[in-house]
Structure 1
């Protein structure tokens, strides 16, 4: 276990506030105009951990779900168990594989935007690859190499990982 995880495990679980049902609509509307910093602050308050490095639409959609979950309740245990069973069918019950996929790769449909040399570059995440300029690419590194003409870690180039961070 790395040092960061040991520190997180040693800290008491944060208290997540229950949200009154009367506040749900106003909070959902407020998400649409919130700044990135405000969204990240809300993530910390509602999830009790640091927000992931994904784009704005991802944060807004997950925060919207979380607000409703805290107001109306989450999935029933039977539903959670059924989803777990379906997940095991897809990945053979390999929890490590499931976590790697869930934690590292943006959801299909996510658009990654990067400005480089004054030009905005947009990549769409697809189920099994990435699309850039109408062409499929197997990796973000290949796209970064196409854009810059030099070798790049694609995850770093598009801001999904900090330089030097492990996978």
Structure 2
């Protein structure tokens, strides 16, 4: 059985997203820091045309800052969006859940981890598949920590990367 809407029902409200003159961008961005959360949520409704997410103030401020600039100067070109989508699909096979989670908790290749131990500064360079310490490759940070201290350590803890799982 199909149900028809009564003729008296009205269509949902159409939101008109305002254009933002470039001269207003800097003052609006600066004002975001002192704006109460209730006002930030109202700005969200005006600039996105929908209800704000239930996230913290810092998140809402950062997204509003981007949106203000996007409306003033324009967003990403369609070609750029398409390229980013294609790169994302290469990395996660089109799985939306994986797209929201950084699959690898390792620091990015090229990152230098510095730790002082017994008055000596030790520097480790993160590489794509391993770690380099004193010119030699190591498969794990724990192996490097063991080399430095002579005892078993969790390498992530030793180098201050607590809360990350070793890959």
Q: Which has the higher helix share?
A: 1
User: 1:44 and 1:98 mapped to 2: Cα distance?
Assistant: 28
Q: Which structure has the greater CA radius of gyration? A: 2
Runs of 5+ unmatched residues, structure 2: 1-10, 102-160
Deviation at 1:87, TM superposition (A): 1.3
Residue deviations 1:83-131 (CA, integer Å, cap 9, x gap): 1011111221134x368x38xxxxxxxxxxxxxxxxxxxxxxxxxxxxx
Moved over 6 A (4+): none
User: 1:137 and 1:13 mapped to 2: Cα distance?
Assistant: 45
User: 1:25 and 1:136 mapped to 2: Cα distance?
Assistant: 37
Counterpart in 1 of 2:66?
65
Distance 1:94-1:13 versus aligned 2 partners, 3 A rule: farther
Runs of 5+ unmatched residues, structure 1: 1-9, 103-133, 139-167
Structure 1 length-normalised TM = 0.51
Structure 2 length-normalised TM = 0.51
Residue deviations 1:106-164 (CA, integer Å, cap 9, x gap): xxxxxxxxxxxxxxxxxxxxxxxxxxxx96399xxxxxxxxxxxxxxxxxxxxxxxxxx
User: 1:17 and 1:57 mapped to 2: Cα distance?
Assistant: 23
Counterpart in 1 of 2:163?
136
